[in-house]
Chain A
Amino acid sequence: MHTSTLVNPVITLWIAASLTFLFYFIAGRNAKLAPAGIQNLAEMIIGFFKDEVASMLGENSSKWLPFILALFTFILIGNLLGLIPGLGAPTSNINVTAGLAIVIFLLTHFMGIMEHGLIKYLRSFIPEGIPLPIVFFLIPIELVSQLARPFSLAVRLFANMFAGHTVAITLITLIFFFKSYLIVPFPIIGNLAVSLFEIFAALIQAYIFTFLATLYISSAIEGEH
Protein backbone atom coordinates (compact mmCIF):
# COMPACT_ATOMS: atom_id res chain seq x y z
CA MET A 1 0.00 0.00 0.00
CA HIS A 2 1.24 3.48 -0.83
CA THR A 3 2.33 5.71 2.01
CA SER A 4 0.28 8.79 2.79
CA THR A 5 3.14 10.78 4.28
CA LEU A 6 5.62 13.10 2.57
CA VAL A 7 8.41 12.49 5.09
CA ASN A 8 9.81 9.00 5.59
CA PRO A 9 8.00 7.36 8.55
CA VAL A 10 11.38 6.43 10.06
CA ILE A 11 12.22 10.13 10.46
CA THR A 12 8.85 10.94 12.04
CA LEU A 13 9.29 7.93 14.34
CA TRP A 14 12.59 9.35 15.59
CA ILE A 15 10.95 12.78 16.02
CA ALA A 16 8.16 11.18 18.09
CA ALA A 17 10.66 9.25 20.22
CA SER A 18 12.81 12.36 20.84
CA LEU A 19 9.75 14.45 21.76
CA THR A 20 8.61 11.73 24.19
CA PHE A 21 12.03 11.80 25.86
CA LEU A 22 12.18 15.62 25.87
CA PHE A 23 8.66 15.95 27.33
CA TYR A 24 9.41 13.89 30.43
CA PHE A 25 13.00 15.19 30.65
CA ILE A 26 11.92 18.85 30.71
CA ALA A 27 8.95 18.07 32.97
CA GLY A 28 11.15 16.35 35.56
CA ARG A 29 14.31 18.49 35.33
CA ASN A 30 13.40 21.20 37.82
CA ALA A 31 10.68 19.36 39.70
CA LYS A 32 9.02 21.57 42.30
CA LEU A 33 6.69 20.65 45.14
CA ALA A 34 3.99 22.92 43.70
CA PRO A 35 3.89 21.87 40.04
CA ALA A 36 3.41 24.43 37.30
CA GLY A 37 3.40 24.41 33.51
CA ILE A 38 4.72 21.30 31.78
CA GLN A 39 5.38 19.52 35.10
CA ASN A 40 1.70 19.94 35.95
CA LEU A 41 0.68 18.33 32.65
CA ALA A 42 3.10 15.42 33.12
CA GLU A 43 1.88 14.82 36.68
CA MET A 44 -1.72 14.83 35.46
CA ILE A 45 -0.94 12.16 32.83
CA ILE A 46 1.09 10.07 35.30
CA GLY A 47 -1.65 10.29 37.96
CA PHE A 48 -4.36 9.26 35.51
CA PHE A 49 -2.40 6.25 34.23
CA LYS A 50 -1.36 5.21 37.74
CA ASP A 51 -4.98 5.10 38.91
CA GLU A 52 -6.81 3.93 35.79
CA VAL A 53 -4.43 1.69 33.84
CA ALA A 54 -1.43 0.52 35.87
CA SER A 55 -3.69 -0.51 38.77
CA MET A 56 -4.80 -3.49 36.63
CA LEU A 57 -1.36 -5.01 37.19
CA GLY A 58 -1.84 -5.20 40.95
CA GLU A 59 1.35 -5.16 43.01
CA ASN A 60 3.56 -4.85 39.90
CA SER A 61 1.94 -1.56 38.88
CA SER A 62 4.79 0.79 39.81
CA LYS A 63 7.30 -1.44 37.97
CA TRP A 64 5.25 -1.25 34.75
CA LEU A 65 4.22 2.42 34.95
CA PRO A 66 7.26 3.81 33.00
CA PHE A 67 6.66 1.35 30.15
CA ILE A 68 2.94 2.17 29.99
CA LEU A 69 3.58 5.92 30.05
CA ALA A 70 6.31 5.69 27.38
CA LEU A 71 3.99 3.64 25.15
CA PHE A 72 1.09 6.10 25.55
CA THR A 73 3.15 9.26 25.06
CA PHE A 74 5.01 7.82 22.07
CA ILE A 75 1.79 6.78 20.29
CA LEU A 76 0.03 10.05 21.19
CA ILE A 77 2.86 12.22 19.85
CA GLY A 78 3.10 9.95 16.79
CA ASN A 79 -0.63 10.44 16.13
CA LEU A 80 -0.47 14.20 16.68
CA LEU A 81 2.48 14.61 14.27
CA GLY A 82 -0.01 13.79 11.50
CA LEU A 83 -1.73 17.14 12.12
CA ILE A 84 1.42 19.09 11.16
CA PRO A 85 1.33 19.75 7.41
CA GLY A 86 4.17 18.00 5.59
CA LEU A 87 5.13 15.64 8.41
CA GLY A 88 2.50 12.89 8.56
CA ALA A 89 1.78 10.47 11.40
CA PRO A 90 4.20 7.52 11.68
CA THR A 91 1.25 5.51 13.07
CA SER A 92 -0.60 5.85 9.73
CA ASN A 93 1.92 3.33 8.36
CA ILE A 94 0.92 -0.32 8.97
CA ASN A 95 4.54 -1.38 9.52
CA VAL A 96 4.94 0.92 12.55
CA THR A 97 1.73 -0.22 14.27
CA ALA A 98 2.46 -3.87 13.44
CA GLY A 99 5.89 -3.48 15.02
CA LEU A 100 4.37 -2.03 18.19
CA ALA A 101 1.73 -4.79 18.34
CA ILE A 102 4.36 -7.55 17.85
CA VAL A 103 6.39 -6.09 20.72
CA ILE A 104 3.29 -6.24 22.95
CA PHE A 105 2.53 -9.82 21.80
CA LEU A 106 6.06 -11.08 22.54
CA LEU A 107 6.21 -9.20 25.84
CA THR A 108 2.86 -10.64 26.98
CA HIS A 109 3.89 -14.27 26.47
CA PHE A 110 7.46 -13.67 27.68
CA MET A 111 6.12 -12.26 30.95
CA GLY A 112 3.62 -15.13 31.25
CA ILE A 113 6.39 -17.72 30.83
CA MET A 114 8.72 -15.83 33.21
CA GLU A 115 6.01 -15.67 35.86
CA HIS A 116 4.62 -19.22 35.72
CA GLY A 117 7.16 -21.33 33.80
CA LEU A 118 6.48 -22.69 30.30
CA ILE A 119 4.44 -25.80 31.20
CA LYS A 120 2.28 -24.11 33.82
CA TYR A 121 1.68 -21.10 31.55
CA LEU A 122 0.53 -23.28 28.64
CA ARG A 123 -1.72 -25.26 30.98
CA SER A 124 -3.35 -22.06 32.27
CA PHE A 125 -5.03 -21.60 28.86
CA ILE A 126 -7.14 -24.73 29.46
CA PRO A 127 -9.63 -24.57 32.36
CA GLU A 128 -9.52 -27.26 35.04
CA GLY A 129 -11.66 -30.39 34.78
CA ILE A 130 -12.41 -30.38 31.05
CA PRO A 131 -12.70 -33.73 29.20
CA LEU A 132 -9.88 -34.54 26.77
CA PRO A 133 -11.87 -34.38 23.46
CA ILE A 134 -12.92 -30.78 24.15
CA VAL A 135 -9.28 -29.80 24.76
CA PHE A 136 -8.54 -30.57 21.09
CA PHE A 137 -11.25 -28.08 20.11
CA LEU A 138 -10.03 -25.49 22.61
CA ILE A 139 -6.43 -25.42 21.34
CA PRO A 140 -7.17 -23.98 17.84
CA ILE A 141 -9.76 -21.55 19.25
CA GLU A 142 -7.31 -20.26 21.85
CA LEU A 143 -4.52 -20.09 19.23
CA VAL A 144 -6.63 -17.98 16.87
CA SER A 145 -7.80 -15.66 19.64
CA GLN A 146 -4.20 -15.12 20.81
CA LEU A 147 -2.98 -14.40 17.26
CA ALA A 148 -5.93 -12.09 16.53
CA ARG A 149 -4.94 -9.78 19.41
CA PRO A 150 -1.79 -8.22 17.85
CA PHE A 151 -3.55 -8.09 14.47
CA SER A 152 -6.52 -6.12 15.84
CA LEU A 153 -4.21 -3.87 17.90
CA ALA A 154 -2.17 -3.00 14.80
CA VAL A 155 -5.07 -2.55 12.38
CA ARG A 156 -7.18 -0.50 14.83
CA LEU A 157 -4.49 2.15 15.32
CA PHE A 158 -3.40 2.11 11.68
CA ALA A 159 -6.94 2.33 10.25
CA ASN A 160 -7.95 5.20 12.54
CA MET A 161 -4.95 7.32 11.60
CA PHE A 162 -5.04 6.32 7.93
CA ALA A 163 -8.77 7.10 7.63
CA GLY A 164 -8.24 10.67 8.90
CA HIS A 165 -5.53 11.28 6.29
CA THR A 166 -7.65 9.74 3.54
CA VAL A 167 -10.70 11.87 4.34
CA ALA A 168 -8.52 15.02 4.32
CA ILE A 169 -6.98 14.08 0.95
CA THR A 170 -10.41 13.25 -0.50
CA LEU A 171 -11.78 16.64 0.55
CA ILE A 172 -8.82 18.43 -1.08
CA THR A 173 -9.20 16.36 -4.26
CA LEU A 174 -12.75 17.76 -4.65
CA ILE A 175 -11.14 21.03 -5.84
CA PHE A 176 -9.45 19.20 -8.73
CA PHE A 177 -12.63 17.29 -9.59
CA PHE A 178 -14.88 20.36 -9.81
CA LYS A 179 -12.23 22.77 -11.21
CA SER A 180 -14.06 25.73 -9.66
CA TYR A 181 -13.22 28.30 -6.98
CA LEU A 182 -16.76 28.07 -5.62
CA ILE A 183 -16.05 24.66 -4.06
CA VAL A 184 -12.98 25.90 -2.10
CA PRO A 185 -14.76 26.89 1.17
CA PHE A 186 -16.20 23.39 1.54
CA PRO A 187 -12.84 21.51 1.72
CA ILE A 188 -11.41 24.19 4.04
CA ILE A 189 -14.28 23.93 6.55
CA GLY A 190 -14.38 20.15 6.13
CA ASN A 191 -10.66 19.81 6.75
CA LEU A 192 -10.94 21.98 9.86
CA ALA A 193 -13.65 19.69 11.24
CA VAL A 194 -11.68 16.55 10.33
CA SER A 195 -8.54 17.94 11.99
CA LEU A 196 -10.45 18.70 15.20
CA PHE A 197 -11.83 15.15 15.20
CA GLU A 198 -8.31 13.85 14.55
CA ILE A 199 -7.03 15.42 17.81
CA PHE A 200 -9.81 13.56 19.64
CA ALA A 201 -9.13 10.29 17.78
CA ALA A 202 -5.38 10.58 18.45
CA LEU A 203 -6.00 10.78 22.21
CA ILE A 204 -8.61 7.99 22.28
CA GLN A 205 -6.61 5.59 20.11
CA ALA A 206 -3.38 6.13 22.07
CA TYR A 207 -5.32 5.43 25.29
CA ILE A 208 -7.03 2.32 23.88
CA PHE A 209 -3.76 0.85 22.58
CA THR A 210 -2.12 1.37 25.99
CA PHE A 211 -5.18 0.09 27.87
CA LEU A 212 -5.40 -3.13 25.83
CA ALA A 213 -1.65 -3.75 26.02
CA THR A 214 -1.82 -3.46 29.82
CA LEU A 215 -4.89 -5.71 29.92
CA TYR A 216 -3.12 -8.44 27.92
CA ILE A 217 0.04 -8.24 30.03
CA SER A 218 -1.92 -8.34 33.30
CA SER A 219 -3.95 -11.37 32.15
CA ALA A 220 -0.72 -13.19 31.24
CA ILE A 221 0.91 -12.38 34.59
CA GLU A 222 -2.11 -13.30 36.70
CA GLY A 223 -2.95 -16.34 34.57
CA GLU A 224 -6.70 -15.60 34.38
CA HIS A 225 -8.14 -17.09 31.21
Chain B
Amino acid sequence: MENALGAGLAIGLAALGTGLGIGILAAKAMEGIARQPEQAGVIRTSMIIAIAFVEAIALYALVVSLIMVSK
Protein backbone atom coordinates (compact mmCIF):
# COMPACT_ATOMS: atom_id res chain seq x y z
CA MET B 1 0.00 0.00 0.00
CA GLU B 2 2.73 2.48 1.00
CA ASN B 3 4.75 1.30 -1.97
CA ALA B 4 1.92 2.13 -4.37
CA LEU B 5 1.44 5.55 -2.77
CA GLY B 6 5.15 6.33 -3.01
CA ALA B 7 5.34 5.12 -6.60
CA GLY B 8 2.36 7.25 -7.57
CA LEU B 9 3.89 10.29 -5.87
CA ALA B 10 7.27 9.67 -7.54
CA ILE B 11 5.95 9.55 -11.10
CA GLY B 12 3.30 12.20 -10.44
CA LEU B 13 5.72 14.81 -9.10
CA ALA B 14 8.20 14.03 -11.87
CA ALA B 15 5.44 14.44 -14.46
CA LEU B 16 4.54 17.81 -12.89
CA GLY B 17 8.09 19.11 -13.33
CA THR B 18 8.50 17.62 -16.77
CA GLY B 19 5.19 19.07 -17.93
CA LEU B 20 6.24 22.53 -16.75
CA GLY B 21 9.62 22.13 -18.47
CA ILE B 22 8.21 21.00 -21.80
CA GLY B 23 5.56 23.73 -21.62
CA ILE B 24 8.16 26.46 -21.13
CA LEU B 25 10.33 24.96 -23.90
CA ALA B 26 7.49 24.83 -26.42
CA ALA B 27 6.29 28.32 -25.53
CA LYS B 28 9.75 29.81 -26.01
CA ALA B 29 10.24 27.91 -29.27
CA MET B 30 6.92 29.25 -30.58
CA GLU B 31 7.94 32.78 -29.60
CA GLY B 32 11.13 32.24 -31.54
CA ILE B 33 9.28 30.93 -34.59
CA ALA B 34 6.82 33.84 -34.45
CA ARG B 35 9.73 36.27 -34.31
CA GLN B 36 11.71 34.62 -37.10
CA PRO B 37 9.52 32.30 -39.21
CA GLU B 38 12.39 31.59 -41.64
CA GLN B 39 14.31 29.85 -38.79
CA ALA B 40 11.37 27.54 -37.97
CA GLY B 41 13.14 24.36 -39.06
CA VAL B 42 16.25 24.93 -36.94
CA ILE B 43 14.21 25.96 -33.88
CA ARG B 44 11.89 22.94 -34.21
CA THR B 45 14.81 20.48 -34.42
CA SER B 46 16.60 21.87 -31.36
CA MET B 47 13.28 22.04 -29.48
CA ILE B 48 12.63 18.34 -30.12
CA ILE B 49 16.13 17.41 -28.93
CA ALA B 50 15.75 19.56 -25.79
CA ILE B 51 12.33 18.01 -25.11
CA ALA B 52 13.89 14.55 -25.29
CA PHE B 53 16.35 15.61 -22.56
CA VAL B 54 13.55 16.90 -20.31
CA GLU B 55 11.40 13.86 -20.99
CA ALA B 56 14.20 11.56 -19.82
CA ILE B 57 13.82 12.97 -16.28
CA ALA B 58 10.23 11.76 -16.11
CA LEU B 59 11.38 8.38 -17.40
CA TYR B 60 13.99 8.12 -14.61
CA ALA B 61 11.10 8.58 -12.17
CA LEU B 62 9.07 5.98 -14.09
CA VAL B 63 11.85 3.43 -13.62
CA VAL B 64 12.09 4.31 -9.91
CA SER B 65 8.34 3.98 -9.41
CA LEU B 66 8.24 0.65 -11.26
CA ILE B 67 11.01 -0.63 -8.96
CA MET B 68 9.01 0.62 -5.95
CA VAL B 69 5.83 -1.14 -7.09
CA SER B 70 7.55 -4.43 -7.92
CA LYS B 71 9.18 -4.66 -4.44
Is residue A109 contacting chain B, with contact meaning CB distance below 8 A? no
Mark out the residues of chain A between 145 and 171 whose CB falls within 8 Å of any chain B CB in the assembled complex.
152, 155-156, 158-160, 162-163, 166
Residues of A within 8 A of B49 (CB): 204, 207-208, 211
B59 contacts which chain A residues (CB < 8 A)?
Answer: 155-156, 159-160, 163
Q: A156 vs B59: C-alpha distance in the bound complex, in angstroms?
A: 8
Main secondary structure of the interface of A (DSSP, over half): helix
In the complex, A160→B48 CA distance in Å? 15
Q: Is A91 an interface residue (CB 8 A)?
A: no
Q: 13 interchain pairs (CB within 8 A)?
A: A2-B70, A155-B59, A155-B60, A156-B60, A162-B63, A163-B59, A201-B52, A204-B48, A204-B49, A205-B52, A208-B49, A208-B52, A208-B53
**Interchain CA distance A35-B62 in the complex, whole Å:** 44
A166 to B70, CA, bound (A): 13
Query: Which residues of A come within 8 Å of B, CB atoms?
Result: 1-2, 152, 155-156, 158-160, 162-163, 166, 201, 204-205, 207-208, 211
Contact with A along B11-55 (1 / 0, CB 8 A): 000000000000000000000000000000000000011001101
CA distance A156 to B52 in the complex (A): 9
Chain B interface, number of residues (Cβ within 8 angstroms): 13
B66 at the interface (CB under 8 A from A): yes
New contact pairs (15) apart from A208-B53, A211-B49, CB-CB < 8 Å: A1-B70, A2-B70, A155-B56, A156-B56, A156-B59, A156-B60, A159-B56, A159-B62, A160-B59, A162-B63, A166-B62, A201-B52, A204-B48, A205-B52, A208-B52
Task: Tell whether, in the assembled complex, residue A159 and residue B52 are in contact, meaning their CB atoms are under 8 Å apart.
Answer: no
Q: Collect the chain B residues with CB atoms within 8 Å of residue A160's CB.
A: 55-56, 59
Name B residues whose Cβ lies closer than 8 Å to a Cβ of A: 48-49, 52-53, 55-56, 59-60, 62-63, 66-67, 70
Q: In the bound complex, how far is the Cα of B67 from the Cα of A162, in angstroms?
A: 13
- CA gap between A152 and B59 in the complex, in Å: 11
Q: How many whole Å from A129's CB to the nearest CB in chain B? A: 33
**Smallest beta-carbon distance B21→chain A, Å:** 15
Closest to B45 in A: A52
- Whole-angstrom CA separation of A2 from B66 in the bound complex: 11
